[in-house]
Every structure is written in structure tokens, then in C-alpha cells.
Structure 1
Amino acid sequence: MRKLIAEIAVSLDGFIEGPDGELDWMLVEKDEDYLKTIKNRFDTIFYGRVSYERFGIAQPDEPFLSDQEKQLNDFIAKIRKYVFSYTAKHLPGNGMLVNENIETVVKRIKDEEGKDILLFGGPDILKTFIDLGLVDEYILALHPRILGAGKPLFRGITNQLSLKLLQTRRLKSGVVILHYRPNQDNSA
């Protein structure tokens, strides 16, 4: 069975965006292996609508993009994408809309042959997937920034979730990667 991996950048004080949706606080890691790792591990991305509209639609090649950004753009253009939204009726780009039977659809996709699935979205889609017990692993990229305000990562989560730390890694930029899996018994 394929794993659903939530990979999320977060500030030290638990925010994924600044108060006005800013992402300029994130440190860009000049890690040549990052794109290679993404390409090798994932063949499908699950997006929330806002994240898809912001990041999931490949942009036309711009001359100012680095080679790594061009490769990422090409990868995003080709990868299979599902967009979870109760409000959208149509999507730009090549994302497939899922607006009902989320648990059934996700379980069917996880049972298909293929690589792991990347969950890329905000706190609303994360909460939905956590509540349905669909997230197999969490990879948090903890950035050494304190925003003071913004969009909290675990907004709306009301039930405790016990996690087991699988791995930590410190990047040159100061970002710390924390890799977790939910405990099987889900007790603290």
C-alpha cells in the first residue's frame, strides 16, 4: 500500500504562512538532492484548492528560473494531481477534482500501484485527512523563524495525536527536518 506523506514547512511558533499569506520567511535550501528525492519517492500529489492554485499549476518557463526551479516546474506539470475542494466546480491546469467521498477516494488511490503520495496543503485539508486517519507520515521542515502571527499548522485539531519520531536532519540553512509516524495505538 502506498503511503500518504504530509510534508509541511512550519515556523518555530507553528505557522505555515504569515498574517497575509507570506512565505518569504522560508529559507530556501540549495539542496541538489531535494528534487531528486521528491521525484524518486512521489508520483502523486494531493492538494487543497488554495495550495493547488498557488503551487500546483506549472508556470510557463521564465528566463529567470534556476535549472532546479525549471526541473521542479516540469515535474509539477507532469505529476498526477488530485485537488480536494467542496467549493470548486472546475480547475485550471491538470488537477483532478475530488469533492465527495474523500475517504473512499483516498483509500482507493492508496491501494493503487505506484509511489508514495505527497499531501500538500493548508491546515483545513490536513485536519480533514487527520480526522479520517489517512496520513501515514508527517515530515515537518522546521524553519528557524518566529512569525508571531499567521496561519497555524494544526488549526482546528481537537483530538490528540501521538507521533513517533523516525528521523531528524539538520540542513545547512538551519532548517530541521522532523520525520514522524502516528503511533499505532495512538495513545500518548
Structure 2
Amino acid sequence: MRPLIVFSDLTLDGYMTGPGDDDLGYMVDDPVLEAVSTTELRAVADTIIVGRRSFPGMSAHWASAEGDLADWMNATPKHLLTSDASVDVSAWPHTVVAPGDGVERVRELKAGAGGALVVFGGTATVRSLVGAGLVDEYWLKVNPVLTGTGDSPFTALTESRRLRLRSARPFPSGSLLLVYTP
């Protein structure tokens, strides 16, 4: 079975977005962390999963970005989880629409052959996959920012889940990359 990795930026107080619903301005730029995470992700993941609400921003950004991470993001097969099968994905290379129930689609992808699946967002997509117990690894980039409010990917939990810390690394920006497994 293919593992599912959630790779997510979080504020120090646990939010995936800032005060505005799509506010990602809290993210701290750290080229060292980007290089490390890209190298490590490329070594294990061969498929990207993205949610419908985050798709427009991600596709617009990555389709025109340059560098190693952009090359990988653009060349890697992507599955857009959406209930709308008519979404135009032509702007972001190697993207297919995965219509229907996103949780069931991810279960099908996990059961298939290949490397790890990595979910970059958005909050609702991550929340549904966390709630369904499908996440095998949490790669959390904790930004040294407190927002006091925002949207958490963990509000779908109905009971506590214990996690095991696999690694914790600080970076020059003050960000931490924490990797947890259930």
C-alpha cells in the first residue's frame, strides 16, 4: 500500500491558513528548508494530491515558477480532488481530475502501485483525509508566526491520536520541519 504524506505549512499555533480563509502570508521563506524537503520528497513521493479550493493558486504559482522544486511540482503526476469533473486542469501539466468522493479516491490511489502520495492542501482536503485516518506521515513545516486565528487541518478529529516523532529539524528562518507518524 502506498503511504500518504501530508506536507503542510502551519503557524506555531497550529493553523494552516491565517485569519483570512486563504491567507498564506504567514509562510516564512526558507531556501534551505525548501531544498531539503524537496530532495527528501522527491526520493519517496511520485504523486501529488491537491484539493479544489487550493488548486487555482497552486497551479498559477507552480506553472510559472522556476527551480528544482518547481520542476518537480510540474513534472509529477497530480490528482485534483473535486466533485466537479469539468474543472479545467490544462494550466498545470500532468494534472488529472479525480472526481467524486475525495476520501474514496485517495483510498483507491493508496491501494495502487507506486511511491508515496503527497498532499499539499488545502485545509478542507487535509482535514477530510486526517479525519478518515488515511495519513501515514505528517511533514509539518512550523513557521515562527502566531496568528491567533485561522483554519486548522485537525478539527475533524473525533478523538485524540498519538503520533511518534520521526525527526525534528530547525532551519535558518526559525522554521522547524517536524515529521510524525501515527
TM-score class normalised by the smaller sequence: 0.7 to 0.9
> Are 2:36 and 1:39 equivalent residues in the alignment?
no
Q: TM-score, normalised by structure 1?
A: 0.81
- Cross-structure match for 2:155: 155
- Cross-structure match for 2:130: 130
- What is the CA-CA distance between 1:81 and the residue it aligns to? 0.5
* Matches of 2:30 and 2:157, distance apart in 1: 29
* Matches of 1:111 and 1:56, distance apart in 2: 26
Q: Tell me the matched-pair count.
A: 175
- Cross-structure match for 1:24: 25
Decide which of 50, 63, 86 is 1:89's aligned counterpart: 86
Aligned partner of 1:91: which letter? D
- Decide whether the 8 Å contact of 1:9 with 1:142 is kept in 2: yes
Bigger drift between 149-158 and 11-20 goes to 149-158
Bigger drift between 20-29 and 129-138 goes to 20-29
- Cross-structure match for 2:64: 60
Bigger drift between 30-39 and 119-128 goes to 30-39
Decide which of 69, 72, 76 is 1:75's aligned counterpart: 72
The structure 1 segments of at least 4 consecutive aligned residues displaced by more than 6 Å after TM superposition are none
* Matches of 1:24 and 1:127, distance apart in 2: 20
- Decide whether the 8 Å contact of 1:144 with 1:174 is kept in 2: yes
- Cross-structure match for 1:6: 6
- What is the CA-CA distance between 1:135 and the residue it aligns to? 0.8
User: SS where residue 179 of structure 2 aligns?
Assistant: strand
- Decide whether the 8 Å contact of 1:10 with 1:153 is kept in 2: no
Aligned partner of 1:55: which letter? M
Q: TM-score, normalised by structure 2?
A: 0.83
Runs (5+) with no aligned partner, structure 1: 62-68, 183-188
Runs (5+) with no aligned partner, structure 2: none
Give 1 or 2 for the bigger CA radius of gyration. 1
User: SS where residue 47 of structure 1 aligns?
Assistant: strand
Aligned partner of 2:39: which letter? K
- Cross-structure match for 2:143: 143
Aligned partner of 1:43: which letter? D
